[in-house]
Structure 1
Amino acid sequence: MASTEPPRAVTIHEHCRIAPPSHGGAEQLSLPLVFFDMVWLHFHPIQRLLFYQIPCSNQHFMETLIPNIKKSLSQTLKHFRPLAGNLIYPLKSGKPEFRYIPGDSVSVAIAESNEASDFHYLTGDDPRDADRFYDLVPVLPPPENDSVSGFKRIPVFAVQITLFRDTGICLGFTNHHAVGDASSIVGFIKAWSSVSMLEAASELSAANFPLPFYDRSVVKDPSGLENTFWSQINISRIESLPLNFPTNKVRATYTLSKNDIKKLKKLVQAKKPGLVHLSSFTITAAYVWTCLVKSAAEAGEEVDDNEPAYFVFAVDARQRLDPPVPAAYFGNCVAFGMTESTHGQLKVENGFSVAVELIGEVISKRVNNKDGILRDAESWVSKFAGLVRKRAMGVAGSPRFDLYDTEFGWGKPKKYEVVSIDPSESMSLCKSRELENGLEIGLSLPEKKMSSFAAVFSAGLKI
């Protein structure tokens, strides 16, 4: 029987709550949800892991590193108060909002792995048991119903710091997607790392780091998308469904070098010389999408050639809106791109070229078009709800948000993993930690399909 509880091969030394400083202006803050936030109300939490290779004893970890982590987190939360607050949801009627009240805090778990050797296993590239990563993933505290105030309080952020004795440290982050997109959460992580590197943690300011911008009025909504989305959302269930264990998946990492991407571009140009949008993202996304489609048969999947195949991706809309939204805007400000083909069209030899053309067309005509970025936005909620149980591939992350340059005083990360791609057939995407201008791709698939994908992915680069 499947379990909703993740496996635990770690010892939790401490559960604590970290709040912004009680002095220094961490005042109450309330933020209404804009239509960009509402899309994510039912989405599963986003789970990220950063691994750092550093020889560290238990004593040094508990007596030196943890106090600095706690202090720097508190100082950073002073500027990122929504993460310490809650999603406040009326029990009877009304729209939710994000609210921070002085005294609110973030749940932090201090843990130690029972097997220090797991660090090398988990930070590899080869297929690894996906369930093993959940030892390191912080769990959001459960929602609380407050019958006196008439609200449900839903925590939106949690942290776990795990020691692999004498080997390394893992920082785990879990956030409710509605509180912020990748730009916002990565911005927080980078701010936290900057504070931890400063001699005086209170020095974070607009002079040395772009502080978050909270004014929701900059997001214009002339078409009334907020009310449209709200009318389409199932307000009786605000939490996402839990993930069942075992997941029966393995996690693996693949890399496309700068030369690999050039080679794939030339391959497309030879077959479709008129294509103009051949960015590294387009090439990489199309290649992974078609490799997944082509690996289905080898993995024992029987898919009709007429079965629709979808590719979905989110795009930072801050500078693509009219008027633009400040780059430091904290919250969600992502639009969606989606294209559709069939299994049969993508599995054949020129399927890669077909995928490149389809994705490139969406980007050039909609994503990079201020008049098209919100076209058909009123159908986002229903459209993406309709993709459940369909053959749809998504993308988590972007090379624009590079966490491999995030230092907390322990050097640069050895590995970055997006654990939350497990529930769906999605890929994580980021800059390569080793190859200049290379891209790193993370996948979580059943073992047989991962083996088939690896063979197709490798063979396609040898052409």
Structure 2
Amino acid sequence: MTTVIETCRIPPPQGAAAELFLPLSFFDMMWLHFNTTRRLIFYNHPCSEAEFFNTIVPNLKHSLSLTLKHYLLVAANLLYPLDTDASKPVFRYVSGDSVSLTIAVSGLDFNELVADHARESDQFYYLLPRTPTMSEEESYQIVPLISLQATLFPGRGICIGLNNHHSLGDGRSIFGFMKAWATINKSGDDEVFVSRNSESLPVFERPFCKDSSRIDGMYWEAMKKKPFKPASSHPLPTNRVRASFILRQSDIKKLKNLILSAKPGLVRVSSFVVAVAYVWTTLAKSCAGDKDDMFIFGADARGRRNALFDPPVPVNYFGNCLGGGVARVEHWKLASEDGFVVAAEAIVDEMNSKIHDGDGFLKARKIC
């Protein structure tokens, strides 16, 4: 149903920096053994195959190359040492490195894929690029950090799929790269992108704090004990479905009112809090359990002045920069009639002690 037409390599343009060499920070190291992160972005853009191949694809390739000039790390590789006692992992870009871009055409039902109702999960995986293959050189395993795929649904739309190693960056970084690519593709060159972001182009130098060396060493000692394996390729969750559930503004308001009527003294009851509390309790009520349930959430560490980072990590930093917290509630309380309020209170308490408290942020960060 989905046919691959071409797989090519897109390098940064001539004139881009010739080399980039960066050690991983502890923010990056914790993701070394995770599977790749996969995302699909659908665009409602009816076009013919002729327009797609003659105009859209050449523009995508050209704009991707220009984008890589500003996001050089995306075209780099992760070098993981074969002798983990002698070396640490690093990111390396050298002239000639590139990003894999796959071009495909699909006969799947575009409307079905972008709908909200339950639909088969398996079909989405055909829109993702293949997981990059590891190789070896002398003392390192070489891991490409990202691959991309553009899939045409003739007469209906286009899907951009991306597959990236999490050590490359968190969601803010990856979507920043994708937005830059979209801006440059729309304008045809990188002048508009640069003019809009002249003072906030991505920064790649790994964040440094007064305790960086010790903390990086602690994380590496933990990470290197686990075998470094290639990411799994396209596991299909057969016999499962995917659906979207929408909480409208009116729904959010009702949920907030429920919490505030039960806990009038609770502060910072945000839309995030009520949405995840609602989902968490719904999941708890759908399955059995006799222990504590945990809700783990991430939080952006950029721009936060705290015990570790003073001055703070710049907001235009590209990479991983996440703290977070863990809310715990006994399962029976979550599944009870008042479970929603209990969940919201637990999340708010954890956020107040771990996120909103500058001195507490990142202090409780655990080594995986």
TM-score when normalising by structure 1: 0.75
Find the partner of 1:177 among 157, 166, 180. Answer: 166
Which residue is 2:94 aligned to?
101
Find the partner of 1:212 among 202, 222, 239. Answer: 202
* One-letter amino acid of the structure 2 residue matched with residue 336 of structure 1: G
**Residue identity (%):** 43
Give yes or no for contact 1:14–1:111 (8 Å, CA) kept in 2. Answer: yes
2:177, 2:284 → 1: CA distance? 36
- Partner SS state of residue 353, structure 2: helix
Pair 1:250 & 2:237 matched: no
Pair 1:317 & 2:308 matched: no
1:287, 1:238 → 2: CA distance? 36
1:113, 1:76 → 2: CA distance? 26
Q: Paired residues, what number?
A: 359
* One-letter amino acid of the structure 2 residue matched with residue 20 of structure 1: P
Pair 1:329 & 2:317 matched: yes
Alignment of structure 1 residues 260-409 onto 2, 5 Å: 260-296=251-287, 303-304=288-289, 306-322=290-306, 323=310, 324-377=312-365, 379-381=366-368
Q: CA deviation at 1:120?
A: 0.6
Give yes or no for contact 1:48–1:172 (8 Å, CA) kept in 2. Answer: yes
Aligned CA RMSD, in angstroms, stands at 1.6
- Partner SS state of residue 334, structure 2: helix
1:239, 1:316 → 2: CA distance? 28
Pair 1:259 & 2:250 matched: yes
Q: CA deviation at 1:51?
A: 0.8
Which residue is 1:113 aligned to?
106
Find the partner of 2:8 among 5, 12, 16. Answer: 16
Find the partner of 1:221 among 208, 211, 222. Answer: 211
Q: CA deviation at 1:321?
A: 3.9
* One-letter amino acid of the structure 2 residue matched with residue 27 of structure 1: A
Find the partner of 1:37 among 15, 28, 34. Answer: 28
Q: CA deviation at 1:204?
A: 5.2
Unaligned runs of 5+ in 1: 1-8, 297-302, 382-463
Unaligned runs of 5+ in 2: none
Give yes or no for contact 2:78–2:92 (8 Å, CA) kept in 1. Answer: yes
- Partner SS state of residue 207, structure 1: helix
2:349, 2:150 → 1: CA distance? 42
Structure 1 residues 144 and 204 mapped into 2: Cα distance closer, same or farther (>3 Å)?
farther
Structure 1 residues 367 and 223 mapped into 2: Cα distance closer, same or farther (>3 Å)?
farther
1:294, 1:235 → 2: CA distance? 35
Q: CA deviation at 1:62?
A: 0.4
Q: CA deviation at 1:242?
A: 5.0
CA deviation string 1:272-297 (max 9, x = no partner): 2221120111111101110111122x
2:50, 2:193 → 1: CA distance? 32
* One-letter amino acid of the structure 2 residue matched with residue 131 of structure 1: D
2:53, 2:12 → 1: CA distance? 21
Q: CA deviation at 1:207?
A: 2.7
Give yes or no for contact 1:219–1:325 (8 Å, CA) kept in 2. Answer: no
CA deviation string 1:123-178 (max 9, x = no partner): 000011111100101122210012xx321110110100000011111011111111
TM-score when normalising by structure 2: 0.93
Which residue is 1:392 aligned to?
none
Give yes or no for contact 1:34–1:219 (8 Å, CA) kept in 2. Answer: no
1:169, 1:222 → 2: CA distance? 43
Structure 1 residues 318 and 17 mapped into 2: Cα distance closer, same or farther (>3 Å)?
same
2:261, 2:7 → 1: CA distance? 58
